[in-house]
Amino acid sequence: MPGDDFNANTAAATTVLQQWHNRAGLWNTTGWWNAANCVDALEDAITVNDDDSYLPVLRRTFDLNSGGHFLNNYYDDEGWWALTWLRAFDLTGDTRYLKMAKTIFADMTGGWDAKCGGGIWWSKERTYKNAIANELFLLVAVRLHQRTPGDRGSSSYFDWALKEWAWFRDSGMVNSHNLVNDGLNQECQNNGKTTWSYNQGVILGGLVELYKATGDTQYLKLAVALADAAIATLIDTKGVLCEPRKVFGDNGDVPQFKGIFMRYLAGLYDVEPKPAYFKFLFENAHALWFNNRNRTNQFGMEWSGPVDKTDAARQSSALAPISALAEPMTTNLVFAKGAGAAAFNHGIGGVAGTLAWTCNATNATHADFMLFGPYCSSLPEGRHTAHFRLAVDATNSSTTKLVRLDARDNDNGIILATQAVAWNAFSEANQPQDFQLVFTNATPGDALEFRVFWNCAPDAPALTVTDVTIDGSRNWTAANLKHDLGRLDGLNGWEADPARDKTSGYLVNGPGTAEIPAGNCRARFELKVDNFNWDNSRVAELSVVEVETGSVIAARYLARSEFPNVRYQTFDVDFRAVAGRRYDFRTRWNYAVHAPRLTQRSLVVTTRQR
């Protein structure tokens, strides 16, 4: 509904967070460890909105505060900063960040001793062994392993991760309800103290990363059990995440906790896409935007509302579920969504394939909108082209109008552009075609709808909408093409990873289209990896194939080193098209034990000058 453009909401809320940013590269109103989570919130904005404007903020925080190597008396504080700089390395490829994370982790290992059979202390005073410090130690260790080529053997990062997990698993801090209590008492037993939300979250991150590193599904099964317990238990009467204690006074730590849980729940959803997790993320992001936000886009503690007070901890925490639902934009294609994605609403019809939506005589017995939404308020001002990919299951020379396409400004109730699509506009059956709608966004920030109205014409064929994209040229979302392997990720890209995909094959293949005009063309593949520095192995082969002959007319190999970070990159394959010929654009995944997770967002084909 209007207001649920999570990309726009991420941008607006991140701008407000920066009102607390200070000359020390930290954030007023909140503490040292919270500042690491504020940086994490900026890293979310960089990721989902392709917003490089925050990269200098990361550098400034690092440069102004790196003299002490982000070390202090508390091992959990150190863990937050290590995670922040690991992610900064992922986003930039700057090895200074990776080196700092390793320095921090080395200090954290000094907190390990034989008391209670192992584990690290909460602080260097060595008075308390608790959950959060050890969860962070596990997560930092396994992430460092994944970013350190050849890491293996005694005292390796992976060795530390396995040792920490074995200790944590047997420590008793996970209670009989699958919730994590705060820590251990002097007798090394579960102290029964508060099951704070962040303790349920960080362990999800550690288990997910162990699963990725080993392929052992037992880690994933346990993560699911812990997540299920948390979202069933740590909720208020409206089903929104809350802490188990309601009175916090001026405690500056607790407001940060819920966002941490949401960040790692989203990470679990990315590899284990249970509808209940998406529902929980959405309901929380929606609730806090509509019920816990003031007029200046600041957030309070209780996400069901009302706003109690505002500060940088509350703001950065609230940003986590919002940005977790924002599908990544790129400069190549600002807007690209499958018609069956949760971002769209549907009055009639049903799901088709991976992320498509279809209407036929059985599931659409009256005229109505088969697709409307997603109330996009993040589209820049100016002239745009909406591309609707439509297919019918039978062609006909009939001029019967099957559907109407609209671009609409929902805030003003104005139709910006509209077009009827007749049956005879389809040249072949079961092949999605590109129908374009040119419109002008004169009021940036208004919520825009892209709609397909089913006319329910007599004897109409089944009609399917696969993709809705904005601008570009001839565009396809990767999810709605063909696949030999892989699956949807948490943000509707199509991914393959070595934990589940044990053989090479086509990650994406298709669309067998004849719509490419004759002449010089360029196929643009949007891809990302989750790890770019392990080795320089071959990750994939991109090819353009002439379907009629099976000939590969253009191709290129992609090495891991061609990915400078974990953000989406564009890789071009130039070719010369012949009029009327059909073309597939293929991404072949190259399996290896240590291959990165490879995700494709879209394919865009353009004409080019000689």
Average of per-residue pLDDT across 402-421: 97
Average of per-residue pLDDT across 237-262: 89
> For the chain, give me the number of helices (H) and strands (E)?
12, 22
The reported pLDDT for the residue numbered 449 is 97
Which residue type sits at 135?
E
Contact 346, 431 (CB under 8 A): no
Spell out a b/e string for 269-298, using b for 16 or more CB atoms within 10 Å of the CB, else e: bbbbeeeebbebbbbbbbbbbebbbeeebb
How far, in Å, CA of 553 to CA of 548, rounded? Answer: 12
User: Is residue 382 very low, low, confident or very high in pLDDT (cuts 50, 70, 90)?
Assistant: very high
> Which value, to the nearest 10 degrees, does the dihedral of the CA atoms of residues 530, 534, 537, 542 take?
20
Give the residue, 245 or 344, on which the prediction is more confident. Answer: 344
Which residue type sits at 534?
W
How far, in Å, CA of 589 to CA of 485, rounded? Answer: 9
The reported pLDDT for the residue numbered 2 is 74
The reported pLDDT for the residue numbered 251 is 81
State yes or no: pLDDT of 549 exceeds 80: yes
DSSP 127: -
State yes or no: pLDDT of 361 exceeds 90: yes
The reported pLDDT for the residue numbered 3 is 74
Query: To the nearest whole percent, how much of the chain has pLDDT over 90?
Result: 97
pLDDT in tens, 452-489: 999 999 999 999 999 999 999 999 999 999 999 999 99
∠ CA 456-460-463, nearest 5°, is 85
User: Is residue 248 very low, low, confident or very high in pLDDT (cuts 50, 70, 90)?
Assistant: low
| Domains of the chain, CATH where assigned | 6-324 (1.50.10.20), 335-471 (2.60.120.260), 477-607 (2.60.120.260)
Which residue type sits at 105?
F
How far, in Å, CA of 289 to CA of 588, rounded? Answer: 41
Average of per-residue pLDDT across 257-279: 97
**Whether the predicted model's global pTM rises above the 0.75 cut:** yes
By C-alpha distance, which of 484, 440, 467, 490 is closest to 604?
Answer: 467
Average of per-residue pLDDT across 565-588: 97
Q: Across 455-535, where does the E strand assignment appear? A: 463-470, 474-477, 487-488, 494-496, 505-508, 511-513, 519-529
pLDDT in tens, 122-176: 999 999 999 999 999 999 999 999 999 999 999 999 999 999 999 999 999 999 9
Rounded to the nearest integer, the mean pLDDT of the chain is 96
Average of per-residue pLDDT across 51-80: 98
Distances (CA, A) of 229 to 179, 194, 241, 347, 546: 7, 15, 12, 34, 51
Contact 220, 271 (CB under 8 A): yes
